Amino acid sequence: MALTAARAFIFLVLLAIRACQATSRTLHEASMSERHEKWMAYYGRAYKNNAEKEMRLKLFKQNVDFIESFNSAGNRPYKLRINEFADQTNEEFRASRNGYKRSSYSRPSAMTPFRYENMTGVPARVDWRQYGAVTPVKDQGECGCCWAFSAVAAIEGITQIQKKKLVSLSEQELVDCDTSGEDLGCEGGLMDNAFKFIIHNKGLTTEDKYPYKGSDGNCSKSETASSAAKITGYEDVTANSEKALKMAVANQPVSVAIDAGGYPFQFYSKGVFTGDCGKDLDHGVTAVGYGKSDGKKYWLVKNSWGTSWGEDGYIRMERDVDAKEGLCGIAMESSFPTA
Ligand SMILES: *[C@@H]1O[C@H](CO)[C@@H](O)[C@H](O)[C@H]1NC(C)=O
Ligand SMILES: *[C@@H]1O[C@H](CO)[C@@H](O)[C@H](O)[C@H]1NC(C)=O
């Protein structure tokens, strides 16, 4: 008798749970357009017409569902979140933000060999922000000039390390003026070519003097003439060696190319990113440190997608993975300026 009562009770509880799930599912659908409206207001998004809005709502819903099920699966050391890119497909997102032009032309070879290759006593952790060598996170907007942001962050770093003065430098000068080795402003480029241009140009001016516009423009010769930071050369880190990359980052912020494709990267929120990602390098960023947290080794990477993405604009990417190329190919084509 007691058993039957208990069974009936369990049955009722299960029924209640199921009813609850059904209700929340309907609420979920209904609230999705409300969430989209709120999201649009928060990020100041406007659409051309209702057809576009409907299409974007559909993408928003797909992305929110993906993010929520990813997070509730809870089997990764990192989380995703609904950010300002939540109404875009990954293809659109990649097309507008990335711009590391690896496939279209080959990487120029470095001017001198990798100077840190025999370094001993490499520290266990480094965070160049703590030494004041990293400017606040910037936002490239819908312009594929990640390569300029990556190169500039590395130059800001070495300049501060040597001169003890942190100055924000101009990406727009590179976008407008650097045509070396087929660098194409918002249509993509390479960090090594940017370094070459800056050597040739005898320096780079400040962000204040030549502010960022986020679109291709004509080169302003008068601003270009006033140099705020100079470099004498650049070096490529030994390819496909996270050990070599660690030595370089221990000494200064380093420009790295990564495969930033995939929805997990688009919606990365916090934690140590472990992929999935390939090795199809399409994005230039800057490694500004490395460390270990909760038993996971990571690279501390400064991105240029504003502070609402990731950990205040940064991502921690898993370090010392099985593949020699590193996670997302981070150890494949890294380089740094010398001064
Ligand atoms: C590193 O050590 C090797 C072997 O002693 C030497 O040939 C090489 O020149 C050294 N590299 C640098 C950058 O000093
Ligand atoms: C660049 O200069 C050309 C020729 O003077 C002009 O037609 C064009 O509008 C300028 N572009 C921008 C973005 O200012």
The rounded average pLDDT for each run of 10 residues, N- to C-terminus, in the chain (339 residues) is 52 46 55 94 96 97 97 94 96 88 62 86 97 98 95 98 97 93 86 94 96 95 85 94 97 97 96 95 97 96 96 98 97 96
The whole-number pLDDT of residue 25 equals 54
The whole-number pLDDT of residue 180 equals 79
268 touches 78 (CB < 8 A)? yes
Please give the positions annotated as active site: 146, 283, 303
- Paired with 317 in beta bridges are 273, 299
Q: How many C-beta atoms lie closer than 10 Å to residue 206's C-beta?
A: 17
The whole-number pLDDT of residue 282 equals 93
Distance of CA 5 to the CA centre of its chain: 57
Q: Is the CB of 218 under 6 A from ligand 2?
A: yes
- What's the one-letter identity of residue 260? A
For residue 44, the CA-to-ligand 2 centroid distance in Å is 29
Q: What is the pTM of this model?
A: 0.89
Nearest CA residue ID for atom 2, ligand 1: 118
For residue 336, the CA-to-ligand 1 centroid distance in Å is 19
The whole-number pLDDT of residue 17 equals 46
Instruction: Quote the tokens at residue 325.
Output: 């190329």
Q: Please choose from 112, 115, 118, 237 the residue to mutate so as to test ligand 1's pocket, defined by most ligand atoms within 8 A of CB.
A: 118
The span from the CA of 280 to the CA of 56, in Å, is 27
CB-count exposure of residue 4 (10 Å: 0-12, 13-18, 19+) = exposed
Nearest CA residue ID for atom 13, ligand 2: 217
Q: Which helix (H) or strand (E) holds 173?
A: helix 171-177
The span from the CA of 236 to the CA of 231, in Å, is 15
272 touches 299 (CB < 8 A)? no
What residue ranges line ligand 1, CB within 6 angstroms? 113, 115, 117-118
The span from the CA of 339 to the CA of 229, in Å, is 9
The span from the CA of 112 to the CA of 232, in Å, is 11
The minimum-distance atom of ligand 1 relative to the CA of 114 is 13
Phi-psi category of 169—alpha, beta or left, where left has phi over 0 and alpha has psi -120 to 50? beta
Burial code of 42-65, b = ≥16 C-beta within 10 A, e = fewer?
eeeeeeeeeeebeebbeebbebbe
Give how far Cα 214 sits from Cα of 14, 143, 175, 185, Å.
55, 6, 9, 9
For residue 176, the CA-to-ligand 2 centroid distance in Å is 11
The whole-number pLDDT of residue 182 equals 73
